Amino acid sequence: MPFHAGLMVAWLLVLLSQTLLMATGKGQHHQRLGRIAFALVPAMVVTMLIAVPASYRAAWHFAQAARPDVREAQLNFLNHSSGPFLGPLQGTLEFALFVFIALRARRTDSGLHKWMMILATATVLPAAMVRMTWLPNFAFSFAIYLSIALLPMFLWDIIRTKSVPKAAYLIWLAVWRTAEIAVWALDGQPWLDDAIPHLMDV
């Protein structure tokens, strides 16, 4: 989905610009540019929700056109795993929730606002990581990669500010771990495995 990809690139550019503006003391420009987020976020959430079934259907159609052995393995995976559906849905909902918290905190807690925006972006990184086929894929691999990606931010807090924004990390860990446990519990449930193909109309 080129439009979805364009929105994600725009979001990353806005996030980078906002970080640089605050780091250079240009708070007024930061506030003006922040208005773009109010337009970007709803569009991003809508396209991400559209991309969830679109990606699932693309995987299903790929299986139909593949060699018999590949087709059997791919269809077996899609029919007995909810991950291709639940994973992207989890990232979308977490992104929307974290941005909502960040926007609510923008006038009362600038630290929470900043880190929730960054953590919101981190929640959708696995969607990019899964496309990096050169990365080793194993149990909890993307959780490990995400933790590595967030490590510089954690070190920045400790080295630069001599503190850790506990509220932001606690919110992120609570939501992320709860969602991970929910996805793990739901993945492979026969009733859900049967329902998803019907929901995806494949």
What's the confidence (pLDDT) of residue 1? 63
What's the confidence (pLDDT) of residue 102? 92
What is the pTM assigned to this prediction? 0.81
pLDDT at 71 over 80: no
Q: Give dist(CA 7, CA 157) in Å, integer.
A: 29
Structure tokens, 1: 């989905």
Q: What is the pLDDT of residues 159-169, one digit of tens each?
A: 877 777 788 88
What's the confidence (pLDDT) of residue 95? 93
Output the average pLDDT for the chain.
Answer: 83
Cβ 101 vs Cβ 119: under 8 Å: no
